[in-house]
Amino acid sequence: MASKPMSKAAIVDQLSKKAGLTKKAMAEFLEELAALAYKEAKNGFTIPSIGKLVLANRKARTGRNPQTGEAIKIPAKRVLKFRVSKICKDAVLGSKA
């Protein structure tokens, strides 16, 4: 049986206990971290040992409507991506060595 992802409240609770801060202070810290990530994402925002937020440009391309099979044009656009670090991948999935 799969367990549920941690809620924001659970993350705040666990981190506040570990850091010895109040829940309110830890919640404010997480809000500021998120705000900083949003502001700096266009330059690339790295969260050490977890990953990096980056902006990428997607080229225009031709796609297909899955219901009708009709070809459609998909316009070029900028997208936000998150690249997971090798350290994080190895910690979660286990190293291949």
Q: Give the model confidence (pLDDT) of 14-65 as tens digits.
A: 999 999 999 999 999 999 999 999 999 889 999 999 999 999 999 999 999 9
| 81 lies in the same domain as 97 | yes
According to DSSP, the residues that pair with 77 across neighbouring strands are 58
| 60 lies in the same domain as 91 | yes
Question: What CA–CA distance (Å, rounded) separates 70 from 62?
Answer: 10
Structural domain range at position 48: 44-97
Q: Is 62 helix (H, G, I), strand (E, B) or coil?
A: strand
pLDDT, residue 18, reads: 94
| 35 lies in the same domain as 62 | no
| 55 lies in the same domain as 14 | no
Asked if residue 53 lies in contact with residue 84, where contact means CB atoms within 8 angstroms, the answer is no
| Chain Cα centroid distance, residue 33 | 13
Asked whether residue 2 is assigned to any structural domain, the reply reads no
Predicted TM-score (pTM) of the model is 0.75
- What the block records as the tokens of 67 is 């219901």
Question: How many domains does the chain divide into?
Answer: 2
Give tens-digit pLDDT for 62-96: 999 999 989 999 999 999 999 999 999 999 998 77
